[in-house]
Amino acid sequence: MDALFTSTAVVALAEIGDKTQLLAILLATRFRKPVPIIFGILVATLANHFFAALLGASVASIFQSAWFHYLVAAGFLAMAIWTLIPDKIDDLEDKPARFGAFLTTTVAFFLVEMGDKTQIATVALGAQFQQVVLVTIGTTIGMLLANVPAVFVGHELLRRVPLKVVRFVAAGLFAIIGLWLLIQGPGSL
């Protein structure tokens, strides 16, 4: 259950202020249809994060050496630094939507999540726990916890939530996980 709860917490915190959360707000403003947008987020995240967790678990099962353990720990520490850098959505706002809310959200979320910090975190979580299904479920729940409120109250949320503070908390969480892995040593993966 550690894989599920840790994955949920890591992604929920990392997602706040992330470009996919900003995309959720943009799509909610454009389409004004929350249910198809939420289902689009769900489908895109399940697909994207399943493959990310599978990649992490596969790589971890192949590379059981100490250097790989330290590489995963360093990855979490790098995520801590990356989380402090604010995301922008300027390049996404001008793209016209040719399809409905569900398909537009599914495709946009899947593509925007490629190489995003939450996808990289999912790879690292997959490597750490080697439980693809639990990591995928956890990261998907984390994405939904961060993005569903954004769909419903996005503009008000952006006005009231101090994103800088939340970024520091999320960065701290990544740093704690990275340091914990370093302290635990190579046998903890």
More confident residue, 24 or 81: 24
According to the model, what pLDDT value does residue 7 have? 93
Reported as a pLDDT band with limits 50, 70 and 90, residue 10 is confident
Distance CA 35, CA 102 (A): 8
With a CB cutoff of 8 Å and minimum separation 6, the contacts of 126 are 52, 53, 54, 55, 56, 57, 60, 132, 135
Q: Is the pLDDT of residue 186 over 70?
A: no
The residue-averaged pLDDT of 68-72 equals 71
For residue range 111-153, list pLDDT tens digits in order: 888 878 888 889 989 988 999 999 999 999 999 999 999 898 8
Single pTM value for the model: 0.71
